[in-house]
Amino acid sequence: MTPQHHSADGNPVPLRWLLVGTTVLPAAAFGLMMAFAPEASADIEYQFSPGATLTFTDGNIETLTGTFSFNPAGPSLTQVDITLTGGTPMAGTYTNPYAATPDSIRAYVDDPLASFIEIVYLNDLGPMPDPIASAIYTNPKQRIGTVMVSGSAAPVPEPSSMAILGAALGLFGLRRCKSQRDLSAPADQSRPT
């Protein structure tokens, strides 16, 4: 005979249902918690907020778009695709990572001696959006800073494998409980569809 516990309404609850409930639900909760836990050693992909602009001291206003991947543990910049749209000489697509500090990134167009952009953030880059504090454009002939900036860089949400695994285990466990319950229902009762 299977040991049974009683629910609040006095009906018996089989011990195996209690065991499934105490293992499946915590596994699903753990998976969801892991989905939102920051990984310090992993690259974080950032995207610039819509309408981000850089106003340089020479009067050029550049619209800033694109993405970059940053690893706070290094810190290191591993991938860059930043586009400045506006006047020359800043306008262009910066696709080559050059350097990074906890609160800044630097990328160049084609040749590190040609021209690069450094974007400094208000705080150290991490799992939260970070406002742009300033930017500096440099080429062999000039170095131009910003007088005004707007926008931020925000991490791009990614599904975590632990969350997917936890959710799958939880759904599998709930589905199994339902099928076990359906199999143990008396034959003369109609089953809901």
Cross-strand bridge partners of residue 6 = 12
pLDDT digits (tens, 9 = 90+) for 35-53: 555 555 689 999 999 999 9
Tell me what the mean pLDDT of segment 83-101 comes to: 92
What predicted TM-score, i.e. pTM, was given to this entire model?
Answer: 0.64
% of the chain at pLDDT higher than 90: 48
Residue 176 has pLDDT above 60, yes or no: yes
Strands (E), the chain: 4-6, 12-14, 44-48, 53-56, 61-71, 76-85, 92-94, 96-101, 104-108, 116-121, 130-138, 143-150, 152-155
Tokens 């910066």 sit on residue: 94
- Number of residues written out for the chain: 193
What does the pLDDT read at residue 29? 62
Among candidates 161, 160, 166, 133, which has minimal Cα distance to 148?
A: 133
What does the pLDDT read at residue 180? 65
